[in-house]
Structure 1
Amino acid sequence: MSLHPLSGAEISDIRTQLHELQIEHRDLDLVITHLIENPPPDDLLIRRLKKRKLLLKDRILQLEEMLVPDIPA
């Protein structure tokens, strides 16, 4: 985590990024489902899309953590 509090502009930028990644993540989920349900599935493409989806999820979690203020122990 950063040692300084985020500015309003930084928070806004993070929220914008977060929203865009969440949309991409949802879209990938729809594409993967469509490919699986409409044979013949392209297994390599599905694996690549799932990997991208996992990377997006990790980045989404990182951005969400940046928006949560640190709680002193």
Structure 2
Amino acid sequence: MATDPSEYDKAMPIVAAHLAKIERAVSRTRSSHAGQLYTTVREALVQALRDENAERVVPQVVDEFARRISEEPDALPF
């Protein structure tokens, strides 16, 4: 199934904006909760994603970010 290239061009700004919201939420959570318990970090991250209007994130991704903020805060790419 071929995809019209213009659809890609239309979608990319939307995807980029959503990823920027996720990045802000992760960065903010890491700044305020680095090294804290996983459950605390995960709750804070979920709230930060809500605040950014970026709740549509695969749950496993949220889990992994929360784990890394809790256990390896300096190893995140953002």
- TM-score interval (norm. to shorter): 0.3 to 0.5
TM-score normalised by length of structure 2: 0.43
TM-score normalised by length of structure 1: 0.45
